[in-house]
């Protein structure tokens, strides 16, 4: 029987794919992540279903879309990933943050990483050093680790409090790039430590994000009540142990979501994921010679976490249509052009009618599944 792999899930708040060298050749400040990605699956067409932490993180653990509220409680019946790993006998080590604490995602007895850190200063480097100490000091056990962290170093609320950097990063928002350069170095040190402990090739390691941020595109900054391409695009890099990598393949160009992580882990641990509706994540890997899920031409609902802003991602992530009810505006984007922000397209009344109808249909699917009375 193949030993269960350790699982490290690093959800770096506000990390944009175009700020990582595996996605953008102009990036020079993430060499460690570039080296890591060179032996990993790099999903180049990845998105979050929610443009904010408050719903994106719960959706990662549920592996599905959720009611558009913060929060549906109790969360335990929806915590598919947590339940899967508990049943599989995993030990948990989790860094505290407002979402996992409020939803009580960590099971009793979970190791707490960077426990003294304030939640909005959640520093990736501190978390990784504390994780090394936890791995060294934990009692010997055959049970593998599940590690989760949501570092805040790239969140604008954190970045804007930091001293100005004298370094220039042409083409990039310098304060964010400077923070990411530091995080990259810490991640490289952590990878070296995993190799020294003999754990690197026994682990599934995921680097992703809960959402992106606008960093000056058309004068925009942040993500809170908006729904633009640079907010919905995320990186998704997954390294498998060599033994698993030989048994699974993936299509890195097919549209993928953070909500697919739970289903992917389930099949990698030997489970089966039954086909379900587009509300649910699907495994991103499949055996060689076996067709993976074909959803390239489906439409997928995306949304702001904190306001009534909804989008429709279509044509294998090539188009994004957004209904912004806060500002009474509709937007349409070609995501194959214009960089991270896409290229704004004109919309016709017919396109608006179709887009709004399809968004409404998927909102109705969520309401029906969770038995929500939309009239009250």
pLDDT tens per residue, range 87-125? 999 999 999 888 999 999 999 999 999 876 554 468 999
> Inter-axis angle of helices 261-268 and 80-87, to 10 degrees?
20
Task: Let me know if residue 104 belongs to a domain.
Answer: yes
Judgement on whether residues 320 and 216 belong to the same structural domain of the protein: no
What is the tens place of the pLDDT at every residue in 241-289? 999 999 999 999 999 999 999 999 999 999 999 888 899 999 999 999 8
Q: Are residues 253 and 343 located together in one domain of the fold?
A: no
Domain that holds residue 93: 6-268
Assigned domain for 354 exists? yes
- State mean pLDDT over 19-26: 97
**Rounded to an integer, what distance in angstroms lies between the CA atom of residue 213 and that of residue 44?**
18
pLDDT score recorded for residue 353: 94
| pLDDT bucket at 296, cuts 50 / 70 / 90 | confident
How far is residue 83's CA from residue 103's CA, in Å, rounded to a whole number? 14
- Asked whether residue 282 is assigned to any structural domain, the reply reads no
Give yes or no: residues 258 and 334 share one domain. no
Q: Flag whether 276 is in a domain.
A: no
Residue whose structure tokens are 């010997």: 140
C-alpha to C-alpha distance for 134 and 203, rounded to whole angstroms: 16
Secondary structure class of 103 (helix, strand, coil): helix
Same-domain status, 263 and 306 = no
What's the CA gap between 366 and 372, in Å, rounded?
Answer: 8
Q: How much is the pLDDT for 53?
A: 95
Together in a domain, 319 and 211: no
Q: What integer pLDDT is reported at residue 323 of this predicted model?
A: 96
Q: What is the pLDDT of residue 163?
A: 84
Whether the pLDDT of residue 130 is over 80: the answer is yes
Verify that 40 and 147 share a domain, yes or no. yes
Q: Nearest-CA neighbor of 69 among 102, 20, 105?
A: 102
Q: How many angstroms from the chain centroid is the CA of residue 284?
A: 14
The DSSP line for 26-50 is T--S-HHHHHHHTTSEE-TTEE-SB
Does the pLDDT value for residue 153 go beyond 60? yes
The model scores a pTM over 0.85: yes
Q: Residue 92: how many CA atoms within 13 Å on its side-chain side?
A: 22
Please answer whether residues 66 and 58 qualify as being in contact, where contact means their C-beta atoms are separated by less than 8 angstroms: yes
Q: What is the pLDDT of residue 121?
A: 62
pLDDT tens for each residue of 157-191: 889 888 888 888 999 999 999 999 999 999 999 99
CA atoms within 13 A on the CB side of 359: 22
């Amino acid at each position: 029987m193949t030993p269960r792999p350790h699982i490290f899930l690093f959800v770096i708040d506000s990390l944009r794919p175009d700020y990582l060298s595996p996605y953008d050749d102009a990036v020079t400040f993430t060499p460690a992540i570039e080296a890591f990605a060179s032996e990993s699956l790099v999903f180049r067409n990845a998105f979050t279903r929610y443009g904010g932490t408050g719903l994106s993180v719960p959706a990662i653990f549920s592996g599905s879309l959720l009611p558009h509220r913060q929060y549906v409680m109790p969360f335990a019946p929806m915590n598919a990933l947590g339940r899967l790993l508990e049943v599989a006998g995993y030990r948990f080590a989790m860094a505290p943050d407002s979402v996992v604490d409020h939803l009580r995602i960590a099971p009793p007895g979970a190791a707490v990483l960077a426990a003294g850190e304030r939640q909005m200063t959640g520093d990736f480097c501190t978390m990784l050093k504390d994780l090394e100490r936890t791995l060294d000091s934990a009692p010997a056990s055959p049970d593998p680790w599940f590690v989760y962290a949501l570092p805040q170093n790239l969140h604008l609320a954190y970045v804007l409090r930091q001293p100005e950097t004298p370094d220039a990063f042409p083409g990039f928002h310098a304060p964010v790039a400077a923070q990411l350069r530091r995080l990259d170095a810490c991640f490289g040190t952590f990878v070296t430590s995993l190799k020294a402990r003999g754990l690197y090739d026994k682990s599934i390691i995921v680097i992703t994000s809960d959402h992106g941020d606008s960093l000056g595109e058309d004068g925009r900054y942040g993500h809170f009540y908006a729904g633009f391409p640079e907010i919905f695009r995320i990186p998704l890099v997954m390294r498998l142990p060599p033994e698993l990598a030989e048994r699974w393949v993936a299509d890195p160009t097919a549209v993928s979501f953070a909500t697919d992580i739970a289903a992917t882990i389930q099949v990698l641990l030997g489970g089966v994921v039954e086909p379900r509706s587009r509300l649910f994540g699907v495994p991103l890997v499949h055996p060689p010679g076996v067709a993976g899920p074909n959803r390239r031409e489906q439409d997928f609902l995306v949304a702001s976490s904190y306001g009534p802003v909804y989008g429709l991602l279509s044509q294998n992530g090539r188009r994004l249509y957004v209904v912004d009810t806060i500002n009474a505006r509709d937007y349409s984007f070609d995501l194959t052009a214009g960089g991270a922000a896409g290229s704004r397209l004109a919309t016709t009344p017919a396109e608006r009618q179709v887009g709004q109808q399809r968004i409404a249909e998927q909102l109705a699917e969520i309401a029906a599944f969770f038995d929500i009375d939309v009239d009250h």
